[in-house]
Amino acid sequence: MTDETFDETFDLESLIHLEQSFYDAGHSDGFAHGRIHGLIEGRALGREKGFEMWEELGYYEGFALMWQAIYLNQGKGEERAFHHVKHLLEFISQFPRVNPSSADTSADLDIPKLFRQIRSRYKALCSSLGVRPSLRASSEEQGKERSVEDELDAANQKPITKAVWKLEPSSSEEMSF
């Protein structure tokens, strides 16, 4: 019957090929859909991280600028505090405002180190002013806990979180403050 003639001319390779083409069609649809999800989830994470980091840096910046203005206005004050303000503002101006991993130019920039320098300069400013520093500057321990959580997440076969921090080594280092 027709069945037999069909079987004779049917070669295995074209069957495999067929399977492959089904797979490929599914894959490209899935890929497009996955991209949407990746962008959405990535954006959500990036927003949070950017806010978190720059809220802290902005705090130091605003704090330093205000004291600078106060000192200029008063025409007096401790020399050392003014010195700290200058350096603090200088450090902050070096801090990238885009994710370092995407900006090749700042590849040699040591973000965690810069962040540490900013924090300790801020604390030095506070102590020269006799002001109690914000808790932001002492969040090192918090950071450590976080990165452990991240690793747990990754171990928990969660490719999503893992991928972000893996793709972005500088940021995961920042997490380990």
Partner 1 sequence: MDSFWDEEATAETHRNAEWSKISSEFTTSGYREGITAGKESALQEGFDSGFADVGTPIGREVGMLRGTIAAIIAFLSSNLYSDKQESLLAEAQAIGSQLSKIRFSDIAPRDLEAEAHAREHLEMDSDEKMEENEELTAKRNMEGLEDMLARLSADSVAGSGERKLGMEDVKELKWMTGELCKRMGLKVQVESS
Tokens of 160: 């999503």
Q: Which residue, 19 or 140, is less far from partner 1 as judged by CB?
A: 19
- 90 binding partner 1? (CB under 8 A): no
Position 128: which residue type?
S
Residue entry with tokens 């006799």: 130
DSSP string over 19-33? HHHHHHHHHHHHHHH
Min separation Cβ 69 and partner 1, Å: 4
User: Within positions 126 to 145, which residues make up the interface with partner 1, using CB under 8 A?
Assistant: 129-131, 134
Instruction: Return the number of the residue (116 or 160) whose C-beta is nearest partner 1.
Output: 160
Using the contact rule CB under 8 A, the part of the chain among 105-113, 137-145, 163-171 near partner 1 is 163-171
Q: By C-beta, is 97 or 144 nearer to partner 1?
A: 97
CB 85 within 8 A of CB 125: yes
112 lines the binding site for partner 1 (CB under 8 A): no
Q: Which of residues 10-69 bind partner 1 (CB under 8 A)?
A: 18-20, 22-67, 69
Measure the CA–CA gap between 104 and 170, rounded to whole angstroms: 12
The burial class, CB within 10 Å (0-12 / 13-18 / 19+), for 22 is exposed
Does 99 interact with partner 1 (rule: CB under 8 A)? yes
